[in-house]
Amino acid sequence: MAELSLRGRAAVVTGAGRGIGRAHALLLASRGAAVVVNDIDAAAAGSVVDEIVAAGGQALVSTHDIASETGGEDLVAAVIAEFGSADIVVHNAGVVEHAPFGQVPADQLTRLLAVHFCAAYYVGQPAWRWMAANGRGRIVLTSSAGIFGDARVPTYGGAKAGLLGLAASMHLETVQQGVDIKVNVIAPLAATRPRVPTAPIPVELATPDNVAALVGYLASDECAVGGQCFRVGATFVGRIYLGVADGWSSGGTPLTPESVADHIDEITSTAGGVVPTSSADLLVHMNSRITAAAGDSVG
């Protein structure tokens, strides 16, 4: 394939002062996009902007507070004012705080939801409006392997998991509206800090640049997927999906606690099943299993 170009596009990258976000900003700029480098650390953001400009690109520093509605709106307004469009949003900003579930303070929950989940809305919504009006756009949200669970980070995993449902719903709206907006999620692995566990993957492979390569595709006009989540790290990229197994149905007979207990092995089995494309698609799968169990249609 010919080299993917982002020339003429304007991008916002949150949390872009260092690590994975920095890699996103540099890659997007290297492919021709003008980039707003958003970070709470003005010096770090400025350093990334200097790198982009020194390489012949266009970039702007932003310290807007994306954990607030006005901050998100002002950030998107800034990219439109400076570069004339808001074609690409990469929401990378995030923070991790550790505590056992029984000891998590309420303000930790509020902080993590604000940065991870709410900021996706605060930045994504005004950008979405521009994209919808112009018939195109790309949004990449950042989740984590934490969606599979990890001890002592319940607020982090919960906030990151919410992004999958948000992206799926946004994607279905683009299909209904017939606009070329692609919304996807990444769950990245990169050794940006000494504490990031990569074993058994060699740490030298777990670079931010490898993560940014996927985002470069998802941000491009050539991106052909939407509403999906991808695990990316080292030289691996694979889809993460929510599926529903074949399970068990009592057919036309009402469920009881005892019948559930009797069939718990079938219910918890991961054999068979589907990957629903919407909540309506899930209902179709459920009805097919009920119908099969009952021997005839129950509606």
Angle separating helix axes 42-54 and 19-30, nearest 10 degrees: 30
pLDDT at 81 (0 to 100)? 98
* Catalytic positions, written as ranges: 156
Binned at pLDDT 50, 70 and 90, residue 299 comes out as: very low
Q: Whole-angstrom Cα distance, residue 34 to residue 260?
A: 56
Per 3-state DSSP, the chain is made up of helix, strand and coil in percentages (nearest 5) of 45, 15, 35
Q: Of 153, 147, 113, 142, whose CA–CA distance to 241 is shortest?
A: 147
Compute the average pLDDT of residues 119-148.
98
Whole-model pTM: value is 0.95
Rounded to 5°, the CA angle 192-56-211 comes to: 25
Residue 278 pLDDT > 60, yes or no?
A: yes
Average pLDDT, the chain: 96
User: Which pLDDT band, with edges at 50, 70 and 90, does 197 fall under?
Assistant: confident
pLDDT at 93 over 50: yes
Specify the pLDDT at position 39.
Answer: 99
pLDDT band at 270 (very low <50, low <70, confident <90, very high): very high
pLDDT for the residue numbered 157: 96
Q: Comparing 62-76, 132-146, 175-189, 191-205, which segment has the lowest mean pLDDT?
A: 191-205
pLDDT bucket at 193, cuts 50 / 70 / 90: confident
Q: Could you count the other beta carbons within 10 Å of the beta carbon of residue 255?
A: 11
What is the DSSP secondary structure assignment for residue 17, as one 8-state letter? Answer: S
Q: What is the mean pLDDT of residues 135-155?
A: 96
Torsion angle (degrees, nearest 10) of CA 172, 140, 190, 101: -60
The pLDDT of 19-44, averaged and rounded, is 99
Residue with tokens 């992206």: 167
The arithmetic mean of pLDDT across residues 274-279, rounded, is: 96
